[in-house]
Amino acid sequence: MTDLLSGPSPHLTPQHEEFRASVRTFFRKEVVPYAAEWERRRAIPRSAWHAFAAEGLLGLNHPTSVGGAGLDFFHSVVFLEELGRTGFGGVRFAVALHAYMGTSYLATNGSPELRQRYLRPAVSGDLIAALAITEPQAGSDLGRLEATAVEDGDHLVVDAEKRFIVNGAFADFFVTAVRTGQRPVNQGSLTLLVVDRATEGVHVLPNESIAWRASGMADISMRGVRVPKENVIGRRNSGFVQIMRNMQLERLAAGISAVGDAANCLDMTWKYLKNRGMFESTLSAKQAVRHKMADLLTEVEAARQLAHHAAWSYARDPLSITACSMAKLKATEVARTVAEECRHLHGSEGFREGAPIVQTVHDAQAATVAAGASEVMRDIVVQSGYEELP
């Protein structure tokens, strides 16, 4: 079977492919042999984070001033594809959240002091980041956020209930969205700030999700948490604009890694089909099966090319909302379809507790919800594609 992720792309150079080879070697040695245990334990050990950092993989998109590599964005594309290709959804989302979501706000809007205190050690793997936006009644609809921060001298006092926070169970700090203006929440009433896990009043409750097990998903309660004013990211009441800007990177990262996940699922399934005997032959020799695989391969390649185009657009304009939304929508939906169809091709094995294809289905389904559900992506695409809606 062809290696989908090494297929031609007008955006990738020989240097990018050399980088892919080194990343793939790293994953084969340092991640794949241990990831099943991390998924079982629902956490990635600190030694693994330091291994990622030693390879320079936690700061590919961050400037050298904080220890990052400062490489062009297609190095990140290659990394995210290969991260998805490991086949472990929890590892994929934990690392992507840390490197491209939780820390991106600090890189783009953090003060020099915040960058040195939090971003630099995050790039070196000494601190783990989480992004605390989602709440019990608020996700994509930021207008429903209930978390508040009230000024008290040199501090802001935070009260919040955050839910489904990736890396929440083991993160050292939370980039947190709070309301600092009047209701209803609008563009001028949200603020982002850094909350240390060790601060009094922060309580973490691990969430026993059936997907992304190694990502340490958790619910975070903050009651009367005193946060120094210098922990505000950017200007107060500028959080909405920051989220809209950085959300494109989050969606793009989710889409690119989903392509890698789908490619891994097809590889895994093809190996199964080649070894599954059927009427003096194998399942891989049956025309109906081969045609199904051909259709899935084509869909994954289409999603990959769209994701690459979105990455090209994002590198030129971080507010490429339509392109990033399309890529996230297409890639995660394709990954879900691939996982479900491949599960069917596994026959009874696809319903065995503990079978890799079963976890792949759960992880792929969850990806269609992260960073905005598919329905939200469709609304964005329609609104940007037509000047007027009926």
Per-residue pLDDT tens over the stretch 146-178? 999 999 999 999 999 999 999 999 999 999 999
Question: Is residue 60 within 8 Å of 107, Cβ to Cβ?
Answer: no
Q: pLDDT band at 183, cuts 50/70/90?
A: low
Q: pLDDT band at 234, cuts 50/70/90?
A: very high
Q: pLDDT band at 1, cuts 50/70/90?
A: very low
The pLDDT value given to residue 140? 79
Q: Could you tell me which of 318, 166, 310, 165 has the C-alpha nearest to residue 242?
A: 318
pLDDT of 332 higher than 50: yes
Q: Flag the least confident range among 34-43, 162-171, 269-278.
A: 269-278
SS3 category, 67: coil
pLDDT of 185 higher than 70: no
Can you tell me the distance from the alpha carbon of 235 to that of 238, in angstroms, rounded to the nearest whole number?
6
Where does 86-238 have alpha helices with state H? Answer: 89-97, 104-109, 112-114, 120-123
Q: pLDDT band at 354, cuts 50/70/90?
A: confident
Beta strand pairing call for 218-228 and 155-165: antiparallel
Question: Is residue 341 within 8 Å of 334, Cβ to Cβ?
Answer: no
pLDDT averaged over every residue in the chain: 93
Q: How many Cα atoms sit within 13 Å of 24 on the Cβ side?
A: 15
Tokens standing for residue 12: 């990738």
Question: Is residue 342 within 8 Å of 266, Cβ to Cβ?
Answer: yes
Percent pLDDT > 90 in the chain is 82
Q: Could you tell me which of 196, 110, 105 has the C-alpha nearest to residue 158?
A: 196
Q: Flag the least confident range among 88-102, 160-174, 184-198, 217-231.
A: 184-198
Phi-psi region of 364 (alpha: psi -120 to 50; beta: other; left: phi over 0): alpha
Can you tell me the distance from the alpha carbon of 111 to that of 105, in angstroms, rounded to the nearest whole number?
10
The helix (H) or strand (E) run that includes residue 148 is strand 148-152
pLDDT of 387 higher than 70: no
Q: What pTM was estimated for this model as a whole?
A: 0.94
Please, is 1 exposed, middle or buried when counting C-beta atoms within 10 Å of its C-beta (0-12, 13-18, 19+)?
middle
DSSP track, 257-323: HHHHHHHHHHHHHHHHHHH-B-SSSBGGG-HHHHHHHHHHHHHHHHHHHHHHHHHHHHHH-TT-HHH
Q: Could you tell me which of 382, 127, 367, 100 has the C-alpha nearest to residue 246?
A: 100
